[in-house]
Structure 1
Amino acid sequence: MKTKILLAEDDPDFGMILKQYLELEDFEVTWFQNPEDVVGLLGTDFPFHIGILDIMMPSIDGFSLAKMILKEKNNFPLLFLTAKNQKIDRLMGLKIGADDYVAKPCDPEELVLRIKNILKRTQPNAPAKIKIGDYYFDTEKLLLSHPEGNVRLTIRERELLLYLLKYNGTMIKRDDILDSLWETNDYFTGRSLDVFISRLRKYFMNDPQIKIQSLRGIGFEVDFPLN
């Protein structure tokens, strides 16, 4: 499942460039040139994971828009963009509840890194116990329990299992796993990932409903029956 970004930016050139770059990074971006269109969505499902707001916009500035969003969607992650680099702007944005602040023109790679860091900080913690088919997974004790026996996972195995559970039922790219969990992508980390996948398959071998299928050259498709 792709991260859905709300982008409010009235500059057509910068907005288009930013949207295209973020989509190349595998984000799903909905771009609003008119901030009033964002306000119209606040009473709806509002299917976004993070918002990127330009401060200097007509009719509704970024600060005012942020206040409206946070009033309806408490703790919604926000990042401000502005052409100005004044201290008062930064302080005001942080006071409102922004998670980060980037001055334009910004380095797109830095922006992507900041977005990912915000999402890591703000994503909800995994539940203490998860039922996976015939298994129980205690995420705090790292214990995978089954009537046939228990196994205690390593920290890395826990992180990988939680990542796969997060995208249960979807196609997961190898590169996305490596970038998210190993923060690097080379031959050796790729082989390490294969070893960890093999371990998880072995741990879940007592329940044939659970599937971790390799897609050659792409990644994996997982099916965890969750109860």
Structure 2
Amino acid sequence: MNTILVVDDDSHIRKLIRIYLEKSQFSVVEAADGQEALELLSHTKIDLAIVDVMMPRINGIELTADIRSYMDMPILMVTAKGESKDKVRGFNAGSDDYLVKPFDPVELILRVKSLLKRYNKISSNVIHIGGVTIDLGNLTVVAAARTVELKKKECELLFALASSSGQILTRTQLIEDVWGMDYEGDERTVDVHIKRLRERLESIPELVISTVRGLGYRLELA
């Protein structure tokens, strides 16, 4: 069971988030401000943090930056302010996603699950499929003595496909996995990256990215 840290100085908001998280089978710990959160993080294993921006003592921006200085974990920032400058500050501090109050609790749960899914894939860093190694940290694909270097999004896309090898992933699933739920671009972005990925993998014929018409893409071993 994943443990979620909820950091907010409003006890009613913490209670609401706790109820929905626990209904979705998450374990929850709470902190009323950034200082309490850091104390909890020093002795409690946390899988994801939901952090409010406006808090006493240590605010959400400072807390996020502190966490990022020594720990790699998903951080979802929540705030009552919707201005772009607050989003920029949050992302610059190291948050992975952003949600504006008042929010739909169902959307909150979806974002938490999406972040955990993305983080779990990224944290594993290396996938071995057949005789091929996909290394997300080094952005490489290695087969025997052949090494292909990829761009970041290309490697993340291949990693997402390899994580569900043999299964069909829709364009929407791939966008959420690689670009995030807030991506506002066209689904054709996936098609463009798949085309480039196929070109780069010509020297590694062991991997085949198949198009499933009307559905999406599937990674298979030749």
TM-score using structure 2 length: 0.56
CA shift at 1:111, angstroms? 0.9
Is the Cα contact below 8 Å between 1:42 and 1:72 reproduced in 2?
no
CA shift at 1:19, angstroms? 0.7
Distance 2:83 2:125 in 1: 38
* Matched positions, count: 136
Q: Does 1:80 align with 2:80?
A: no
Distance 1:154 1:81 in 2: 34
The within-5 A match list for 1:110-125 is 110-123=107-120, 124-125=123-124
SS of residue in 2 equivalent to 1:40: helix
Structure 1 unaligned regions, length at least 5: 129-138, 143-152, 157-227
SS of residue in 2 equivalent to 1:56: coil
Distance 1:89 1:78 in 2: 15
Which runs of 4 or more aligned residues in structure 1 lie more than 6 Å from their structure 2 counterparts after TM superposition?
none
Q: Which position in structure 1 is the counterpart of 2:58?
A: 60
Structure 1 residues 42 and 125, CA gap change in structure 2 (3 angstroms): closer
Structure 1 residues 14 and 154, CA gap change in structure 2 (3 angstroms): closer
Amino acid at match of 2:166: I
Distance 1:155 1:126 in 2: 19
Q: Does 1:99 align with 2:88?
A: no
Distance 1:88 1:126 in 2: 32
Q: Which position in structure 1 is the counterpart of 2:138?
A: none
Q: Which position in structure 2 is the counterpart of 1:19?
A: 18
Is the Cα contact below 8 Å between 1:9 and 1:57 reproduced in 2?
yes
Distance 1:82 1:64 in 2: 14
Structure 1 residues 35 and 127, CA gap change in structure 2 (3 angstroms): same
Q: 2:47 is matched with which residue: 46, 49, 54?
A: 49
Q: Which position in structure 2 is the counterpart of 1:3?
A: 2
Which deviations, in whole Å up to 9, do the C-alpha atoms of 1:45-99 show, x marking residues without a partner? x4011110000111111001111111121x3210100011111100111111111
Is the Cα contact below 8 Å between 2:33 and 2:59 reproduced in 1?
no
CA shift at 1:119, angstroms? 1.3
Q: 1:155 is matched with which residue: 140, 158, 166?
A: 166
Amino acid at match of 2:92: K
Say what the alpha-carbon RMSD is for the aligned residues: 2.6
Structure 2 unaligned regions, length at least 5: 132-163, 168-222
Distance 1:41 1:8 in 2: 11
CA shift at 1:154, angstroms? 6.5
Q: 2:105 is matched with which residue: 91, 108, 127?
A: 108
Structure 1 residues 24 and 100, CA gap change in structure 2 (3 angstroms): same
> In terms of Rg, which structure is larger?
1
Q: 2:129 is matched with which residue: 135, 140, 143?
A: 140
Q: Which position in structure 2 is the counterpart of 1:209?
A: none
Is the Cα contact below 8 Å between 2:48 and 2:74 reproduced in 1?
yes
Structure 1 residues 13 and 121, CA gap change in structure 2 (3 angstroms): same
Distance 1:48 1:63 in 2: 18
SS of residue in 2 equivalent to 1:41: helix
Q: Does 1:71 align with 2:82?
A: no
